[in-house]
Amino acid sequence: MSPNQPGQPKLPIPGVRNLIAVGSGKGGVGKTTVAVNLAVALAKLGHQVGLLDADVYGPNVPLMMGINQTPMAQGERIQPLRNFGVKLMSMGFLNPGDKPLIWRGPMLHSVIQQFLRGVDWGELDYLVIDLPPGTGDVQLTLIQTAPITGAIVVTTPSAVSLEDARKAIHMFSQVRVEILGIVENMSYLIVPGTNQKLDVFGSGAGKRTAESMGVNFLGEIALDPEVRIGGDTGQPVAMRNEGDPRADAFLQLARNMIARLDSIGPQVGPKIEITD
Ligand SMILES: Nc1ncnc2c1ncn2[C@@H]1O[C@H](COP(=O)(O)OP(=O)(O)O)[C@@H](O)[C@H]1O
Ligand SMILES: [Mg+2]
């Protein structure tokens, strides 16, 4: 992998102020769940939000956001769909059903470009990008062509998940993408009918990893059947009223991310200079 050279400008996406990549080392750690609920929480806080499902081989955003229609084109541009106040684009809208896509590098590259620049995102405070798991082609294409404001790395507290999360963090820092922080998902389980926390995967290990790597910790999300049901039924828990512990956890995560973006101030926004 060749790190981005300074002076190699990445074209901003007009109207999009912050591009937030949500990544993980492993699949199944709750990356899409976090991306979806973070986007919904940001919209609830009154921001203009888009969610781009860059997991072109395994797009789960349509299911988790409870919408699956064919997007319309207007002129040259694809109109994003919209649900829960979030603008949406996913390969799942264009290739519905269970047929897998079999694409290689150049096709992948062009579809990512289409999603970033051929979609009429309009004015957005945040465009959240749900990356596929790992450190492969899609991630590199995105990182090398889009002015990503910062990356969030989702992990469970288990050692195997953290091992891969560390790789993802190294990938982002190697290509000079700011790490906004680690989210520890599936931190613990509240034993039903009690207040007792059951430590399933080793609660707290995400935070310790963040500290040891010198990156920010953005928060923890409990392992909770309601979160899974929200995903499976297209009713993200972040939509629930204030006072619901799941909704509150994602709102807090959104606030922590915004605070972190504020703290890196000068990096935020379409600040990239284009030299012709
Ligand atoms: N905090 C959580 N509590 C319960 N289930 C969860 C939680 N986070 C994710 N899940 C479930 O785990 C499965 C994998 O999550 P997903 O977001 O698809 O992971 P990834 O995008 O990393 O592959 C999904 O069924 C999802 O609903
Ligand atoms: Mg996913």
- Alpha carbon of 15 to those of 96, 112, 119: distances in Å? 29, 18, 12
137-145 vs 105-117: helix crossing angle, rounded to 10: 50
Residue identified by tokens 């935070």 is 207
Q: What is the pTM of this model?
A: 0.92
Of ligand 1's listed atoms, the one at least distance from the Cα of 35 is 17
Helix (H) / strand (E) element for 206: namely: helix 205-213
| 73 phi, psi to nearest 5 deg | -100, 145
The CB of 27 under 6 Å from ligand 1? The reply is yes
**3 pLDDT band (50/70/90 cuts)?**
very low
**268 pLDDT band (50/70/90 cuts)?**
very low
**8 pLDDT band (50/70/90 cuts)?**
low
Give me the helices (H) in the chain, please: 31-44, 61-64, 91-94, 105-117, 137-145, 159-174, 205-213, 225-232, 245-263
Q: What is the chain's alpha carbon radius of gyration, rounded to the nearest angstrom?
A: 18
d(CA 84, CA 230): 13
DSSP 237: G
Q: For ligand 1, atom 8, which residue shows the shortest CA distance?
A: 30
Of ligand 1's listed atoms, the one at least distance from the Cα of 60 is 18
Q: pLDDT tens digits for 186-233?
A: 999 988 888 899 999 988 999 999 999 999 999 999 999 999 999 999
The CB of 224 under 6 Å from ligand 1? The reply is yes
Model confidence at 269: pLDDT above 90? no
70 Cβ partners below 8 Å, 6+ apart?
Answer: 93, 94
